Amino acid sequence: MASLLSAVYSYRLSRQSHHVATYHGVIGLLRELDKTFIEHPEIRPYFYGGKPLAADDPQLPRVQAVAELVLDSFEWIWYKRKSFDAENGGGWKAYMVDTFSSSPALQTHYAKSASWYPGITRLIADCSIALGRDVAGAGGVGVVDRLGRGDPAGDREGRPGEGGGD
């Protein structure tokens, strides 16, 4: 009986450690993004202010690099989403949806590289984020337009027949 209790305790402790490590991993990723925005405040509007990115913009290379970093971070968060409790998972999802919905730079990078981001593709579909007409990727696939932010609470995970279980 003691070994069974020990095994249950070890399992719970391991699971709790995994959740803490995942949370700290996300915080670490976002801390690096925050540092980037602190060191280069001129690029923040491209991610949080809806500022469009012109082809001749002098910030183009930096904004493109940060867009890739942001989407890579979002992809990792999406991949680890099952490790979050319901409250934290919903908050991260809302943050990703709001940020993606308001950033033409993220939308443009995603449109050019959608195959790199299956999690983001799933997030867009699951949240019914409106497809825009201003940004198009390969094959003319539209991406999020600021007109539609999606429904961060519209997680279909775990509902039969609606994409849970990946």
What digits encode the pLDDT tens for the residues 16-66?
A: 665 566 566 667 778 888 999 999 999 999 999 989 989 999 999 999 999
* For residues 103-110, average pLDDT: 91
pLDDT at residue number 58: 96
pLDDT at residue number 140: 40
Report the sign of the C-alpha dihedral through residues 36, 42, 43, 44, in that order. Answer: positive
Higher pLDDT, 137 or 3: 3
Domain boundaries, the chain: 22-144
- Return the exposure string of 84-119: e unless at least 16 CB atoms fall within 10 Å of the residue's CB, then b: beeeebeebbbebbebbbbbbbbbbbbbbebeebeb
Between 3-7, 60-64, 96-100, the lowest mean confidence (pLDDT) is in: 3-7
- The average confidence (pLDDT) of the chain is 73
Q: What is the percent of the chain where pLDDT is above 70?
A: 60
Task: Render pLDDT for 107-129 as a digit per residue (tens, 0 to 9).
Answer: 999 988 999 999 999 888 888 77
pLDDT at residue number 71: 94
